[in-house]
Amino acid sequence: MSLWYNMIMIIGITGTLGAGKGTIVRYLVEKHGFRHYSVRVWISEEIARRGLPINRDTMASVGNDVRAQYGSGYISEQLVGRAVENGGNAVIESVRSLGEAGYLQSHGAHLWAVDANLQARYQRITDRASETDHVSLEKFVTDERREFENTDPTKQNISGVMGMADTILHNDGTPEELYAQIEEAFAALPA
C-alpha cells in the first residue's frame, strides 16, 4: 500500500454513460464528506488550455492524447496528487481507461462501477443537458460503443474498467434504492 492510502481513502467511480456516477459522487460528498475530483473536469481544463470546443468527441480525443503522451494512468495520477495535497477522503469520478483504473487500484483506491438500462440513462443525460449531452439517442449509443471496449490502455474501455470494479451498483430504481446500495458498499470498505 502506498503512503497516501494511509492518509486518505479514495474511491474511483466508473460506469456507463448517464448511469448515475454524479449521483454517487454527490451522495459521498454530502453524506460522507468526500472531496470530488473529476476526470471529465480535468480533461475539460486541458481542452480549454488547447483552445478547443468542449464536446464528447474532443474530450475523448484529448483524454486519449494525454494518456498516450504521459502514460495510461496519468490523469488519475494528477487527480490523486490533488487529493493528497488537499487532504481528506476523495472520490474520483469518470474513470474510463484501464490505465487510470489500474493506477488507482495499484495505489490502494477502491473502484466502484454503476450501470442502468439504456432508456433511463439516455433520459438522464437529456435532462441534465451539459455541454456534452446534447445528442440524439443514436449518437449516444455510438459514443458509448466507441468508449466501451478497447485493448489500448490509453483509450476509453468502460467495459474493462467496470470489470475491474470492486463493487457494482445498479441504478434502475429510485434514488433511495441507489443510496441504500452506496451505504452498503461504503460499510463494506476496510476501515
Q: CA 115 from chain center: how many Å?
A: 12
Enter the C-alpha cell of residue 148.
466501451
pTM: 0.88
- In a structure prediction context, what are the per-residue pLDDT tens digits for the chain, which is 191 residues long? 344 445 789 999 999 988 999 999 999 999 999 999 999 999 999 999 999 998 888 998 999 999 999 999 999 999 999 999 999 999 999 999 999 999 999 999 999 999 999 888 888 888 876 655 567 888 888 877 877 888 888 888 999 999 999 999 999 999 999 999 999 999 999 86
Contact 27, 112 (CB under 8 A): no
Contact 115, 42 (CB under 8 A): no
